[in-house]
Amino acid sequence: MELDALDAERGGPMRIVVHGIEVDLPAAADLDWQKVAVALHSPAHFLGVVWPLDVLPRVEHWKIPLLQQAWIRHNGLPGYEQARRLIYMLDRWGEGIEYDLQHHLKVSLKVLWQERRWRELLGYIDMLPTNSHKNRLISLDEEYMAMVLKEKDKEKDPAAGHPSMAEWSQEASVLAAVVDAIKQNTATQVAIANRGKGPKPSIDNYPRPYSVAKRVEWKMRKAEHESLVSLLLPGRDHSTG
């Protein structure tokens, strides 16, 4: 645990000096939870929520991200993605989580949420035992599990079964074209014999090398999926499923 960051979590208004003027930034606990989530999104959003220009003096552009991070630490808040994960879990399985926190840890979800001690709250939730009501609700959530399984299918490497470019010679390219032509001709003959009745025969082309561009695109989609799953299921080994 980063003790300096922990020591910075003091809560309440945050007093700073801008151009010789003392300014009190509002406490996260005094803001609507949706506004807090917006303020975490980016320095620009933070500026709009916590630093209204019609009330507070203007501040140099380069200082805004630093002020945002200081305000986040001061109020014991997590980063935007972690806050989004927390909100998602509470919205979907909040009743079970509330019971778990009280039953297992003797802490109040309501108090931690209203005081905007979201980093601490998220840590408690992630430390809940495997037999928690939260995990039971997740296992019974058909919509969520369907989403996870659907995304898991996309994890399969599309290059599997394709020859490498180093193995792909001109002779292999000609052979692949001949094999595909034979398959196409066979499928056409079957369709003629069936007079258009029944399902159309499917044709699997001879495997070609998988392009670098397609592999990079797949890796990007896979990384996005793993990012989503890591937000919802921290600590899981996503590479092995």
Answer yes or no: is pLDDT of 161 > 80.
no
DSSP letter (8 states) at residue 18: E
Burial 189-207 (b: 16+ CB within 10 A, else e): eeeeeeeeeeeeeeeeeee
The CA-atom distances, in angstroms, between 129 and each of 83, 98, 148 are 21, 14, 21
Residue 202 pLDDT class (50, 70, 90 cuts)? low
Tell me how far apart the alpha carbons of residues 112 and 118 are, in angstroms, rounded to a whole number: 7
Residue 5 pLDDT class (50, 70, 90 cuts)? confident
Q: State the Cα torsion 216-41-78-87 to the nearest 10°.
A: -90
Question: pLDDT tens for residues 28-43?
Answer: 999 999 999 999 999 9
Domain residue ranges in the chain: 3-74, 80-140
Contact present, 162 and 209 (Cβ < 8 Å): yes
What lies within 8 Å, CB to CB, of 219 at 6+ separation is: none
